[in-house]
């Protein structure tokens, strides 16, 4: 496990105390599934507004899955299994709660910077 991931994880554990359960579940999903590619973590989340995340996360994350499935970028390939899985659609609601919590216009500053 690299240093960055360890710091993300410890920050997650620390901040989770203040977050409600849904946001926490979404954060756990994000750390587990997204950070390996989107390495700036919560900072990446804060590059988009709620409205933008809403577009990605509508219909159980349909658009988010589409962006990755249709990407010509070969780095996106490793995400295909996840975006096709039931785990993704199942957790997409929590993920959305988390993305909203740290969106650019949420008023919440990312824990790591």
Q: Can you give the binding site for ligand HEC, defined by CB under 6 A?
A: 33-34, 36-38, 56, 64, 67-68, 71-73, 75-76, 78-79, 95
What is the nearest approach in angstroms of ligand HEC to the Cβ of residue 56?
5
What is the nearest approach in angstroms of ligand HEC to the Cβ of residue 33?
5
- Residues whose CB falls within 8 Å of the CB of residue 44, separated by 6 or more in sequence, listed in order: 34, 38
What is the nearest approach in angstroms of ligand HEC to the Cβ of residue 10?
20
Which of 40, 29, 16, 5 has its CA nearest to residue 96? Answer: 29
Q: Angle 77-9-96 (CA atoms, 0-180°, nearest 5)? A: 60
Nearer to ligand HEC, 36 or 51 (CB): 36
Dist CA 47 CA 8 (whole Å): 17
Nearer to ligand HEC, 4 or 17 (CB): 4
């Amino acid at each position: 496990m690299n240093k960055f991931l360890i710091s993300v994880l410890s920050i997650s554990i620390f901040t989770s105390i203040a977050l409600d359960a849904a946001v926490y579940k979404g954060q756990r999903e994000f750390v587990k599934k997204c950070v390996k590619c989107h390495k700036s973590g919560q900072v990446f989340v804060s590059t988009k507004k709620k409205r933008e995340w809403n577009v990605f996360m509508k219909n159980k994350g349909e658009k988010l899955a589409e962006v990755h499935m249709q990407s010509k970028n070969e780095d996106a390939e490793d995400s295909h299994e996840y975006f096709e899985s039931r785990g993704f659609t199942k957790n997409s609601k929590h993920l959305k709660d988390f993305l909203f919590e740290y969106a650019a216009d949420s008023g919440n500053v990312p824990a790591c910077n």
